Amino acid sequence: MEPKLVVLTGAGISAESGLRTFRDSDGLWEGYDVYEVASPQGWQKNPGVVLDFYNCRRRDVRAALPNDAHKGLARLEEHYNVCVITQNIDDLHERGGSSKVLHLHGEIFKMRSVNNEELIYDITEDIKLGDLAADGGQLRPHIVWFGEAVPMIEAAVQEVVDADIFVVIGTSLQVYPAANLLHYAPSHIPKYIIDKKVPDVNEFGNLTRIEMPATTGVLELLTLLTETK
């Protein structure tokens, strides 16, 4: 049986495809106060602004291309049973070739009813005020906003608990509950952290720091993980 390799990715892996994160710009996301466009309160206050914001993000993602980090993780499937857990709402892992991707914070190409978070539809174009789900509820982005539950976290925890190798790429480990996943990795397994600035993780053993951007860091990871295969 192939070893199980679990990867947690954050905004840093998609930044090299041109997708920015609000953490790069002092709480402003493409000129928006993030809590105005990524919280239930912001939605209640001005749903039109929220829809416009995510319509723009959807166009940005559609225009972006997977980079060598996304493609490199897909290549690891030749040697490992790979599960990618991502905090990102884009589909660049899928387009990069990864076959098992778990989205913690939702997906930009999905929308759902405000009345039923399980009534989900695919969407590639814009969502407009007045676009209704089958239950009559306004359609909203299928995104986990600040203050909302993260429904996929339990599945993610189980993946990490079962891992033979755990890799963290392009995340500051400051967004919870995703940041806690490192604590669930078995203490004896090898762990790798790839980031331009590796966060403080001194408490963890068996850990290799690769202080590089995601694209070059994943190339280094590929060398480390496949040279003995």
Q: For residue 157, count CB atoms less than 10 angstroms from its CB and return exposed for 0-12, middle for 13-18, buried for 19 or more.
A: middle
Write out the E strands in the chain.
4-9, 28-29, 32-33, 81-86, 101-103, 106-113, 120-122, 139-143, 165-169, 191-194, 207-210
Q: How far is CA 126 from the centre of its chain?
A: 21
Which residues belong to the active site?
105
Residue 193 in contact with residue 199, Cβ under 8 Å? yes
